[in-house]
Amino acid sequence: MRAAAVLAVACCFDGPLRLAVSLPLVMASLAISCLALRNGDGADVRPFPPTLWMLLASVAALGIAMPGNIGPLWLEFLRRGFSFFGVVAIGLVSGNSPLWRRRALVASVAGATVLAFIIPAAIPNPPCILCGSTSWNRCSRG
């Protein structure tokens, strides 16, 4: 659950900070997942500190306010709306109700999956931020 929250935050960044901020958050999400798998079923459940929930919510809120436009206007509304939903979902997950935690998690995974399928269709040739070229094809050719 924590790894999913951190990964959702990592997906909210746009613009020049995307690689510098998102990559460490994705790596942290991977580490959290690996630790959770290693501990297995015998692990005790520890509460997530409230300050970290607040930090996750504030970083998710950055996805709403980040400058940059990655595609059509409807996609911008969808992307920023998902960032807003991330703030709400973090609020639900930080509560003590297992039912609302489960609902927030299912809605987050479903929303992220829909965005993962819609964005490549809406932006067929995104600019390559790694090498500065105008398409992924040019970046992969060297």
Residue ranges of the domains in the chain? 2-141
Q: At what angle are helices 2-10 and 18-39 packed, to 10 degrees?
A: 170
Task: State residue 39's pLDDT score.
Answer: 62
What does the buried/exposed string (b/e) look like for 29-51 if buried means 16 or more CB atoms within 10 Å of the residue's CB?
beebeeeeeeeeeeeeeeeeeee
Task: State residue 128's pLDDT score.
Answer: 58
Tokens of 107: 């809605």
In whole angstroms, give the CA distance from residue 72 to residue 116. 16
Tens-digit pLDDT profile for residues 78-134: 888 888 998 888 888 887 777 887 788 778 878 887 887 787 777 766 665 555 545
Q: How confident is the model at residue 41 (pLDDT cuts 50, 70, 90)?
A: low
pLDDT at 51 over 60: yes
Task: State residue 136's pLDDT score.
Answer: 46
SS3 49: coil
Tens-digit pLDDT profile for residues 61-84: 888 888 777 778 888 888 888 889
Task: State residue 142's pLDDT score.
Answer: 47
Residue type at 112 in one-letter notation: A
Least confident segment among 30-34, 42-46, 77-81, 82-86: 42-46
How many helices (H) and strands (E) in the chain? 6, 0
pLDDT at 12 over 50: yes
pTM (two decimals)? 0.57
